[in-house]
Amino acid sequence: MAKYKLVNQNDGNDEIELGEFLNDDIAAGAALNQLGWSLVKEEKDE
């Protein structure tokens, strides 16, 4: 499972941790991108 966070494209310090997702949701990422957010896949540190 991948770990994701949302990063505001206008303010790189504005982030929302999303936790664990079962699969990649490309459509959601594209929709968020239109709203000025980037879906960032974080490296899993285990």
pLDDT at res. 4: 72
The CA distances from residue 24 to 11, 13, 41, in Å, are 24, 24, 9
Instruction: Show the DSSP H helices in the chain as ranges.
Output: 26-34
pLDDT at res. 10: 79
pLDDT at res. 22: 41
pTM: 0.38
Residue range 1-46, pLDDT digits in tens: 567 777 887 776 777 676 555 445 666 777 777 778 777 777 766 6
